Chains A and B, each alone.
Chain A
Amino acid sequence: MDLDQKLKLLRASAAKTRCDSGLEHQLKYLLKLQKRERTLAGERARCPIEQCVEGEVSRNVLGEFFLARQTLPFGRPYGSSRIGDVAFADLSPLNLFLPGQTLPESSSILYLDTETTGLAGGTGTCAFMIGMGRAEGSGFRVQQYFLRELTEEKAALRALEDALASCEAVVTFNGKTFDLPLLETRYRLARMRSPFERLIHLDLLHPARRMWKLRLESCELKRLEREVLAVNRHGDVDGADIPRLYFDYLRGGNARGLEAVFYHNALDIVTLAALAAALSENLRQGGENGVADGRDLFSLSRIFHCAGESDRAVAACCKALDRGLPESIEPRALAHLAAQHKRQGNYRAAAELWRELVRRETPDSIAAYEQLAIYYEHRERDVAKAVEFAEAALDRLRGQPNSCLAGRRLSHRLNRLRRKASFQTQSGERQTLIG
């Protein structure tokens, strides 16, 4: 039997016994492909990318690739703001997410987003489109490097290197775990040096989560775009379909399906810039204006707290409580605020909040009991009261799972307090005797 026959048998027997899920998958794909080719026979005629997407072939020493370019004028509205506001927004408040680094002025920042052949990572995933945005002259310019064939990768990587040469920072969404490692891998595979090492990198994914996750269950870019920026996309492509659209293009050469991908990528980049601007504005205002939702204000307060800005943290948290919070979140905000007060030495205000928490008897109130025990011992010097609160905390802890550590800490405190109480009583009696 020659190899051809064997391969045929392999396919045939896989179809028959379906005992191999890998081959089964291959087979399903094959069938789907055949079907599609039949239905799309009329459109099968080769439609090159140049006819579907506005752009041109770009060349450099390493070859050529397709370059799509568009400039969005500053006057154009984008959701609730304008492109110009986005492009020239002051991003310096975002520095608090970049300890030890400072973002450059907006013209030196490049917004970057890639479209890839998969999400699996590793050396077998390729960025077939590298999209970037930057404020330039009279508009926000979006450029997309597209590989008409996988062999154009080197030229595109080289062009990206050149584009980055005049930048000092890149802003991405999930770039830390996805886009940048992937591009670094591609540079290494192409035996080129990665240009990212010297650049400041702000990945907006985590800051955005910290800012909005209390209000929005999901913080994927599309959702943020709708809820935060009030932008509604039309005719967008589902991210999960993108690799397949590109594979179809590679196999058939028909670029029609890719129009949507260019559109999707361009919007992602503008959104990225708009999101950075919105987040920065939130931080700058610190809840004075603009931010309407209590949950966002509480999120802000926590961000300020982490950055060591206690005053702003207190102000934002007070505002959040004023504005009203859902029942599930409010106790957390109270505890958070109490902790801010305590840090600032504002013990009475903190104690007031702990007492409020204790009144509510939520599961979180145990910590408040403990705090009150500490407060009465050290601030009010009322050991009896401290014992009372420590006992109450321990009491409530009993019904809870995984309470070992806290339990031990509390019993330890309680024992110490009791010793102290009895010592105080004794020494009090002694004094009376002497007196």
Chain B
Amino acid sequence: MKTQGETEILSRLTRARKHSQPQAPVEVALEEIRQKFKAASARGGLTAVQHYPARAAKSTPLPDFLPPRVADALRARGIDQLYIHQAEAARLAREGRNIVVVTPTASGKTLCYNLPILSALAENPETRALYLFPTKALAQDQLAELNRWTEKLGETIRTFTYDGDTPQDARAAIRSRANLVITNPDMLHAGILPHHTKWERLFENLRFIVIDELHYYRGVFGSHLANVLRRLKRIAAFYGSRPQFICTSATIANPAELASRILEEDVTLIDGNGAPSGERYFALYNPPVVNAQLGIRRSYLNEARRLARTFLERGLGTIVFANSRLAAEILVTYLKEDLSQAPAGPEVVRGYRGGYLPLERREIERDLRDGRLRGVVATNALELGIDIGSLDAAVLAGYPGTIASTWQRAGRAGRREATSAAVLVASSAPVDQFMVQNPEYFFGRSPEHGYANPDNLHILLNHLKCAAFELPLTEDEKFGSLDLPRLLEHLAELGFLHKTSDGWHWISESYPADAISLRSVSSDNFVIVDITREPKIIAEVDFSSALTTVHEKAIYLQDGRQYHVERLDYGERKAFVRPCDSDYFTDAISYTKIKVLELFDSAPVADGAARAAALKRHGEVQVNTQVVGFKKIKFHTMENTGSGDLMLPEQEMHTTAFWLTFSQAFFAALPYPAEERLNGLHGLSNALQAIATLLLMCDARDLGVAVGENREISGQEPDISSRNPEGIQKTTEIARRTLFEPNIYLYDKYPGGIGFSEPLFRLCESLIANTHRLIAGCGCPSGCPSCVGPAGEVGERGKEVALEILRKLGAAASE
């Protein structure tokens, strides 16, 4: 079966041959790839090729309202016209609106914020602006860009980065003199706001706040950023300014919604891209199946290597993206090997990742721009913004996790004047397989939503502490939508605040921002100590994953090395390890109990006949988890070679959840024995989780999954879900009862919830339909890690039952 995309390229490539039109080099390479893998198993090879013809620019003359000096500077840099989205941004920003610009990579996005700001500066040299970038590397890149403008404008616009790398002796000058301060949210949170009196000049004249890569701020990070901005606005108001926001974002389904959630302001969306682009191809590639029984495919890394080699051998500038530092290093080694016989030699390929020294990185970036380097293997360190010129081909080894970053990575290849290509090589992870087998999902309108929950109680309380530290809080202030006086009272009861006639003052010796990390789920970490010689800290893991990865006798993996955990000091938050060489890894057995505390909403999943089958719901839940043991699993064969018991403290968390309740009649009517029905539910829950992470642009770590019983009907046992044999047995007993009504929960793995449950409730139908696609489209006979999980875990018929449940819910019909 050929997809539409493939037909298109075939005809095009054939036509080109027939009319002996000269083919572009990347077309030749793509054709070669297609030919080479044509003979491969039915489910491998190129599953789709999308062709994007060249696009002409949509431009407009420089607007009249630009100050003459700025217009001259534009012309001096060879810009006589603006793309329509740039002009639109300049116009709306001038009107004082908050904007979010959504356009692809290399569309001249930075001008959308630099133009309004440089114009404002030309009109008033005291103007100040704050630029927020998620990484330091991007900040450096922007500094260089702004300095180029300063040169052309012929006047001093004092631009500085202010982050952890800024030398202490330069800080005072930056604080009082800089017009444009380029920093990151973490520095704003812990270094700038708590010292705002030193930034008096900045806050008094603060007119713009630029937030680049807004889609980056979703989930926990976004919820934190929203609160940092609440604090920032209070401080700005104290100094009499009210800044305006200019944001940019990669393409997601709800950029304006995410922006207004985080900014808590009205936001105007600009998404009419006016930038030109060259002709390009985007292909999806699935490594061929080598073991149909186990659903094992050829290694995606090896396949990525072969594709990259095909491009490199034709002298095409190629970037390869890997999803981990280790994978990047492996690929560089492979490609250097491949090219050692080639005329250009292995030196034309290099690696690029976090951990390389800044100077080394700058050198690689420059060599890529100059064409001295033909290939680079990078991690996400090169995904965002950094200027490396344009390349011919991009090979993505593994799905980057979101469609938005897939496009950002693919966008690193692309030339105005020549044809370029990007190929995504799927790994065997469920989400990867879903993508390559459902190309329309990938190439269609973005299905990805960014969410944040700034009123998460946990996060909000933490930032209220910081806010009080910065300026006493008063009850009539606006800070989130919860009952502020009650929250302040709570913090006072805990000894952090003190109420006076003019507000709530911070009275604690601590510096609250230090204890709050914007990026990690919890500030509570375990450190991993290698005790082979002098005790040496080799890593940190956050609390929630510590219990499953560094429990006693666990094999902890780091950078490809194995460590045996000798002792876990729970109180001191330390795991003591020694390097080892083991032929197995460990998998923790945990046990999860969920209790519904409050139901927010409930509705039938499907219409018509299936209406009574299942309910979708969301609300607040209490989740209790405990790690009770572990399994030893042999590498490669995945045999279970032993197990052990563990007694770790039970964890309790209150959070929000989305869940499906299947009616007793529906569940009982499934034509399978109770145990298989239950296996089907477990398999289904695994697949639902994979699709949910895709819709929510989150990580599997952010979303817990559990199967349990709906208590409304039985009124007995608490909900239970477990992966250990005992628990399954217990649940099976419950499932045999005639009154059993099962629930599948997807819960936010963050105390208080991060805002995933309500969207999942809304997107439920899409969740179910796509889960059906994932499972139905997977070629394995009875479950594999790419769909419902391996048969060893969900039973021989787990996949079948899961599909049957989805079919009965009308998933197939709604496609």
Contacts and interface: CB of A to CB of B under 8 A. Distances in A.
B457 A17 contact: no
A185 interface: yes
A3 B483 contact: yes
B653 interface: yes
A122 B652 contact: no
Contacts of A126: 505
A150 B505 contact: yes
Interface stretch (B366-374, B393-401, B486-494, B699-707): B486-494
A119 B511 CA distance: 9
Given A19-B522, A150-B500, A122 B200 contact: no
B652 A3 contact: no
B500 A189 contact: no
Interface in A145-201: 149-151, 184-185, 188-189
A21 interface: yes
A2 to B, nearest CB: 9
Interface stretch (B267-275, B466-474, B795-803): B466-474
Interface in A21-45: 21-22, 26-27, 29-30, 33
Q: Give the top 8 A-B pairs by smallest Cβ distance, nearest first.
A: A124-B469, A118-B509, A120-B511, A188-B197, A122-B194, A26-B494, A124-B506, A185-B197
A3 B194 contact: no
B509 A1 contact: no
A20 B752 CA distance: 13
Interface in A57-116: none
A184 B470 CA distance: 15
Given A123-B470, A124-B194, A124-B470, A1 B598 contact: yes
Contacts of B654: 6, 9-10, 13
B496 interface: yes
Interface stretch (A243-251, A273-281, A421-429): A243-251
A150 B470 CA distance: 15
Most buried by B among A13, A184, A247, A250: A13
B377 to A, nearest CB: 35
Nearest to A154: B502
A250 B498 contact: yes
Interface in B404-454: none
Given A120-B511, A244-B509, 18 more contacts: A3-B482, A3-B486, A4-B486, A6-B457, A10-B461, A10-B654, A13-B622, A13-B652, A17-B649, A19-B544, A22-B523, A26-B495, A29-B495, A117-B509, A124-B506, A151-B500, A151-B502, A185-B197
A191 to B, nearest CB: 9
B677 interface: no
A126 B200 CA distance: 18
Nearest to A188: B197
Given A20-B522, A22-B523, A188-B200, A247 B457 contact: no
Interface residues of B, number: 55
A407 interface: no
Contacts of A30: 493-495
Interface string B631-655: 0000000000000000001111110
B501 A189 contact: no
A257 interface: no
A234 interface: no
B171 interface: no
7 contacts: A3-B486, A10-B654, A20-B522, A20-B524, A26-B496, A150-B472, A247-B507
A106 B597 CA distance: 71
B334 interface: no
Given A119-B509, A151-B502, A29 B494 contact: yes
B490 A120 contact: no
B196 interface: yes
A198 B641 CA distance: 78
Nearest to A117: B507
A122 B195 contact: yes
B110 interface: no
Nearest to A26: B494
Contacts of A16: 650, 652
A120 B510 CA distance: 6
Interface in B159-207: 194-198, 200
Interface string A274-304: 0000000000000000000000000000000
A126 B505 CA distance: 10
A17 B495 contact: no
Contacts of A20: 458, 522-524, 751
Contacts, number: 122
B512 to A, nearest CB: 8
Contacts of A17: 649-653
Contacts of A1: 597-598, 620
Interface size class of A (residues with CB under 8 A): 35 or more
Nearest to B194: A122
Contacts of B652: 13, 16-17
A189 B197 contact: yes
B582 interface: no
A7 B469 contact: no
A121 B511 contact: yes
A244 B510 CA distance: 12
Contacts of B469: 122-124
B515 interface: yes
A360 B544 CA distance: 60
Interface in A210-256: 243-244, 247, 250-251
B462 interface: yes
Contacts of A124: 194, 468-470, 506, 508, 511-512
Contacts of B653: 13, 17, 19
Contacts of A13: 622, 652-654, 751
Contact of B495 (A9, A33, A149): A33
B543 interface: yes
Nearest to B508: A118
A187 to B, nearest CB: 9
A19 B651 contact: yes
Nearest to A19: B543
Given A1-B598, A6-B457, A151-B501, A123 B471 contact: yes
A247 B498 CA distance: 9
Nearest to B200: A188
Nearest to A251: B498
Nearest to B483: A3
A138 B312 CA distance: 91
Most buried by B among A17, A27, A30, A184: A17
Contacts of B482: 3
Contact of B524 (A10, A19, A26): A19
Contacts of B597: 1
Nearest to A122: B194
Contacts of A118: 508-511
Contact of A189 (B471, B516, B524, B649): B471
B488 to A, nearest CB: 11
Contacts of A120: 509-511
A225 to B, nearest CB: 24
A381 to B, nearest CB: 45
A122 B195 CA distance: 5
A123 B194 contact: yes
A228 to B, nearest CB: 30
Interface string B527-549: 00000000000000001100000
Contact of B196 (A4, A123, A243): A123
Contacts of B461: 10
Nearest to A16: B652
A3 B752 CA distance: 12
Contacts of A3: 482-483, 486-487
A22 B500 contact: no
Contacts of A243: 509
A149 B494 CA distance: 19
Contact of A122 (B500, B502, B511): B511
A120 B512 CA distance: 10
A121 B620 CA distance: 39
B758 to A, nearest CB: 15
A250 B494 contact: no
